[in-house]
Structure 1
């Protein structure tokens, strides 16, 4: 199509590219006129965000023209349209407003293009008209999907009966009545995932002007929900980027392979590192295994473990050594003297990581082995245990596990867990 279809003697995609601003401005004016006539509320009409999404539609239409008859847009190319539609759903706009806006925008583009076609280009105008309708048909499907997913998420988070079941399971209440109200048969067990979605490793240098950060957040949330939907309609999930909780029905003999598969799919779909704390249990224990999964995830993140799904077995020692109690309070105090000596703490960590080998520790730190010996001696005096003594090394490991966990909680704004939690009220 690109080689034979012309507007004013210019290949159609090139003409659209050259007149992108004109097409966008005309569409914006048409939307504004219709909004005034229909007494539409002004709140959703945010400029420059509205201009951004209109220009993005022009770009996608140009892409469709370039692909010729039968050309299709992919889910990835339409991801920002889907996310923008989700944002409008979260603003409380009716879906009919969204559909009318796309029809008005497409018509406005055609109204600019049609008069520019010369006498010899009238046959091509029919093909352009077909392309406009094909584009409108495709994007309508995309934006309705985004709108519906967000509307469903809002219902889940605010008033839907499914949220009642989700809440009952996580709070330890009897889930049977909530399940009946939601029309869901309770499964033998759930895979409970506590998820942390990492940042985009290669973010764009600068977002397009007017693109709301909420669009990116909705885009990620939609992707998570789309992956989880592959596991059936009874999956319960709540996404609050960068964290999420998912309850996936599983058979009684489900194992960690299922958890790792879910995380692998999320990682591939999102293109970001995903960490998960995974646990399994029947419906009446979901609240307990959910807390366990949260703890496992927290330890994996605090210890700097790579992306993936982690179960209690993967962090068993660190988990047990960091449980609240008088012992953890004392361990905190043991390493407190190192607060003013970050190079000594780094020496201790490197010494433990290198299997208590002074030579390798010195090489990693680029210092003389005598310097390592001096620092380890001073550490022993300050903290009250000698990390070079085999019987005292476990104390060092435990204290550092706890120190990492405390630092992670401070960074993430969570309260430190002290021994006062040992006997909850």
Structure 2
């Protein structure tokens, strides 16, 4: 068959496929011409070559759809100019048609296999790169500054403001039921705000997301998308207090990722101690509690002096401390406190009276409220009375 005709078929098929490189056909067309004449099927070496071209197409970024279109278009275009077809012998034309169809079928299967294997390798390499970048950024130090360029290659501009979100789930994010959450969250956030891709991974059972934070709307978006992803990935399992997240400060620079990460982890721990119900906690809003914990001697003295006598109550200090915590959290409204604790208003009133008797101070008195509320928060931070102060 005329080589110029074969070349024209390849170029026409390349145009049909959206302008891909006709060189991806390799020697496929001459092989099909021979197969149409002899009726043979593609040999193992020829199929291996098709698989290699599929792999090359994947590495070059050619879509699989375009690659398959190239080969199928080449087959139907070649059919029109085959000598055996022009001769018009029905028996030979039928045999040639079957040979061309088998060649197209076998070639496309080999192409797709080679393409997918190459894509899998790329995906593993990218995942390994992302994980290495993630671990380096969370470790901080000089190594973190050195990966700024690699982060940019993955779509994360660390020279611009960014933040870290850390989320906890009752099942942990190492659980098989939650393994899809990191990838789902990445897809939900990619280009969603600031046109930057996040880096999401699991560390010690916690979900960690490093994301672009050009403004407060971007930070809020991450919490909203996380809630949506959990609801979709775990129907019925994302409601209530099964999960909670915290966001560290928005900072610029690769070395600041560790700072924001540690702030988010600390805020998540404080939120648990304080029994905060906010789904996404802002670390900046909990700075006062972190300051409070820095002077342990003063905090211990505050709890002991103000709340220590509650330990002598029947049943211990726990129920009375819980009542005080709920009372202050609801703005000093007894009915709301009762609803929060699933008690009667009478029971709440009785407990507040017992506190007054044991402490010699009125928890409802505005003049004494600040000191008592601060002591209650300090007790929650130290997990007192469940954990003795000397062990907290």
TM-score, length of structure 1 as denominator length: 0.47
* Aligned 8 A contact 1:318 1:398 in 2: no
Q: Where does 1:217-296 land on structure 2 (aligned, <5 Å)? A: 217-230=178-191, 235-240=198-203, 242-251=205-214, 254-255=215-216, 257-271=217-231, 272=238, 274-278=243-247, 279-283=249-253, 284-296=255-267
* Aligned 8 A contact 1:165 1:179 in 2: no
How far apart are residue 266 of structure 1 and its match? 1.7
* Aligned 8 A contact 1:358 1:372 in 2: no
Aligned match of 1:7: none
* Aligned 8 A contact 1:166 1:236 in 2: no
* Structure 2 CA distance for aligned equivalents of residues 188 and 374 of structure 1: 55
Aligned match of 2:160: 188
Aligned match of 1:40: none
- Cα 1:368–1:280 change in 2 (3 A) is closer
Q: Where does 1:147-162 land on structure 2 (aligned, <5 Å)? A: 152-157=126-131, 160=132, 162=133
How far apart are residue 171 of structure 1 and its match? 2.5
- Cα 1:402–1:341 change in 2 (3 A) is closer
Q: Where does 1:14-413 land on structure 2 (aligned, <5 Å)? A: 152-157=126-131, 160=132, 162-163=133-134, 165-167=136-138, 170-173=139-142, 175-180=144-149, 184=153, 186-197=158-169, 199=171, 215-230=176-191, 235-240=198-203, 242-251=205-214, 254-255=215-216, 257-271=217-231, 272=238, 274-278=243-247, 279-283=249-253, 284-315=255-286, 317-333=288-304, 334-338=306-310, 340-356=316-332, 365-366=343-344, 367=346, 371-372=350-351, 374-381=353-360, 386-407=362-383
Aligned match of 2:53: none
* Aligned 8 A contact 2:307 2:375 in 1: yes
* Structure 1 CA distance for aligned equivalents of residues 275 and 119 of structure 2: 37
* Aligned 8 A contact 1:189 1:281 in 2: yes
* Structure 2 CA distance for aligned equivalents of residues 357 and 183 of structure 1: 52
* Structure 1 CA distance for aligned equivalents of residues 336 and 134 of structure 2: 54
Tell me which of the two structures has the higher relative contact order, counting C-alpha pairs closer than 8 angstroms and 6 or more residues apart. 1
How far apart are residue 380 of structure 1 and its match? 0.8
TM-score, length of structure 2 as denominator length: 0.51
1:247-278 deviation per Cα after TM superposition (whole angstroms, max 9, x unaligned)? 21343xx22x2112112112112212553322
* Structure 2 CA distance for aligned equivalents of residues 258 and 417 of structure 1: 40
* Structure 2 CA distance for aligned equivalents of residues 154 and 320 of structure 1: 39
* Aligned 8 A contact 1:153 1:238 in 2: no
* Structure 1 CA distance for aligned equivalents of residues 123 and 355 of structure 2: 57
Q: Secondary structure at the match of 1:261?
A: helix
Identify unmatched segments of 5+ residues in structure 2: 1-104, 232-237
- Give aligned pairs, total: 256
1:40-60 deviation per Cα after TM superposition (whole angstroms, max 9, x unaligned)? xxxxxxxxxxxxxxxxxxxxx
* Aligned 8 A contact 1:192 1:286 in 2: yes
* Structure 1 CA distance for aligned equivalents of residues 135 and 162 of structure 2: 16
- Cα 1:373–1:303 change in 2 (3 A) is closer
* Aligned 8 A contact 2:165 2:261 in 1: yes
Q: Secondary structure at the match of 2:211?
A: strand
* Structure 2 CA distance for aligned equivalents of residues 358 and 267 of structure 1: 32
* Structure 1 CA distance for aligned equivalents of residues 335 and 279 of structure 2: 33
Deviates more, 1:298-307 or 1:224-233: 224-233
* Aligned 8 A contact 1:220 1:241 in 2: no
- Cα 1:228–1:152 change in 2 (3 A) is farther
* Aligned 8 A contact 2:191 2:197 in 1: no
* Aligned 8 A contact 2:352 2:363 in 1: no
- Cα 1:361–1:228 change in 2 (3 A) is closer
Q: Which has the larger radius of gyration?
A: 2
* Structure 2 CA distance for aligned equivalents of residues 332 and 150 of structure 1: 53
RMSD across aligned C-alpha pairs, in angstroms? 4.5
- Cα 1:188–1:146 change in 2 (3 A) is same
